[in-house]
Chain A
């Protein structure tokens, strides 16, 4: 083979590798889960009339990266709702379909790329988003396109009062004071050290917490912001240990919480640990070290209503894992979109168009929910959600200590 031929071969190989790299990491994970054969809703068995069309719902979730747990349960919850709705004949005769984009656990750039694709190529009618930074990046684009964005995962107070953005998750600045109020009454010492995401979600909670804690007469002795997705907290925790707090507050989400709890105990820190998040992944990571950690969370309780129980049973049957509140939030949000589709159809509008759903939104006063009676949005774009204080048990499960807020 001559030199030219060789370099061409090399070039071809490099191109091949680049293709692999691009396929593996570029553009996010894009998939359109359509009902599979054998799942409820497959094949449109229950439809009586021919479907009028398909209303696509875009989702921008953490499908890969440190928060892939969230992407998994949120998409599962939403898919279950879509399957149920389609099996029952759709929304006003329209089929629903999910189109999922990946924000790689909090990357706003990836979220914007995903949103543009959802809007211009997939022609979705509404977007369900998660994580604060990605949601805040997507909201202006959606608003420009008269499209609604629903968030059932992100917690920053900065998400409030944004055009076309509605949130069904209890926000961090609601949950953190709840858990701190609880621990203030329990703890003998009131020196608080905090560790949190160094982004809009963590910082906004931290600012509110500092005022709140000092207002109660407590003292904040150390504060350690860090980049979300970190796995090694030895330096942050060494500094916290040196500050000798009575309580450590974690204003972080994802697997970070599990790592922090575990590594704090590994450094021999005995302070009480409180937080605003606890997932199955955190339980796995922290193991027995998590015992006694106190967290405030949205409460999804299947015994709240028949609808909740029905959702929990169907979820367990389909995915063989218990439903938790993130899955419930996105299940609810698909039903919110369904209600809007029906309202738009009633108004004689085309519900596959984003503006039709946005136009229908003010007319619907309350939506169905698996969290008790009904879901109502406030003027600022938030929803009142039940929350509670939980203690983490030795096996990583949660034990409810007391109800904290909401209905």
Chain B
């Protein structure tokens, strides 16, 4: 039973972080239809920005997180303004944009490796330690990351529902041309979407680096989890990605109740496959007619 509770707590905490990754990626994909693989680069750059800031400015976690948010936002915006928008203006196919995004991710990883070296980088801030409740333990950076993720997802939901800018994003997502007709400046909305979606993952990346280390490759699994969460939950709504992320976190951990632990990725993909077969539009998604 102890094992069950430990797996459940880890699964929930990581699941909420996956949900954040999914929601941020889903916001970008849902609004701009850009298969933004380089989201993983924004994630890695957030961690490296925090490494640099805590080394050169102040060994303070808040400084690190602010640097991470800015780092991720700059990379996300740069991808949109310098690569995706020009490609879209040239009517490049979605596949072309996807390949460009993959190229950015791989080239960006190489640049990080050239700039910081191939060694793992650590965040020079005091350790936060661990939290123990009886038989269950969790690292405090993961707890904090999970808490911030939950707040950010709620804040994004409110922003999209309650503010003018949020409604503009939703309108552009629904119909780009119609949104332009009613006076919404869609290229600006796209840029805003990239800025918000990228900035959101900054804290998660920085706290992951605090919990572990920063490596050039760290963004790859993050972006994979993000889009599994999105397609698992359904592209229709933000809550789809939330459910997808939490389900992914829990199933991956719970599979270790019965199977050797190295099967957890297989279990997660099996779940993904099953959902895609049984509900092609995701858990919350409705099939378009």
Contact = CB atoms under 8 A, between A and B. Distances in A.
A49 interface: no
Contacts of B213: 255, 284-285
A255 B10 CA distance: 22
Interface in B224-273: 252-253, 255-256, 260-262, 264
A20 interface: yes
A153 to B, nearest CB: 16
A285 B106 contact: no
Contact of A281 (B99, B120, B221, B264): B120
Interface residues of B, number: 47
Contact of B106 (A25, A233, A234, A265): A25
Interface stretch (A79-87, A222-230, A306-314): A222-230
A267 to B, nearest CB: 5
A18 interface: yes
Given A17-B102, A255-B120, A262 B212 contact: yes
Interface stretch (B39-47, B65-73, B89-97): B89-97
Nearest to A72: B118
B122 A226 contact: no
Contact of A239 (B3, B14, B91, B103): B3
A21 B120 contact: no
Interface in B3-18: 3, 6-7, 10, 14
A268 B137 contact: yes
Contact of B137 (A65, A225, A267): A267
B161 interface: no
B120 A227 contact: no
B90 A6 contact: yes
Given A285-B212, A285-B213, A20 B119 contact: no
A255 B121 CA distance: 12
B130 interface: yes
Interface string B120-144: 1010000100101000011100000
A24 B106 contact: yes
Interface in A194-253: 198, 224-227, 230-236, 238-239, 241-242
Given A6-B91, A198-B262, A255-B120, A14 B137 contact: no
A235 B120 contact: no
A266 B122 contact: no
The 3 closest A-B pairs by CB, nearest first: A268-B137, A68-B118, A242-B3
Interface of A: 1, 6, 9-10, 13-14, 17-18, 20-21, 24-25, 63-66, 68-69, 71-72, 198, 224-227, 230-236, 238-239, 241-242, 255, 258-259, 262, 265-268, 280-281, 284-285, 287-288
7 contacts: A14-B100, A21-B102, A225-B262, A235-B7, A235-B10, A255-B213, A284-B119
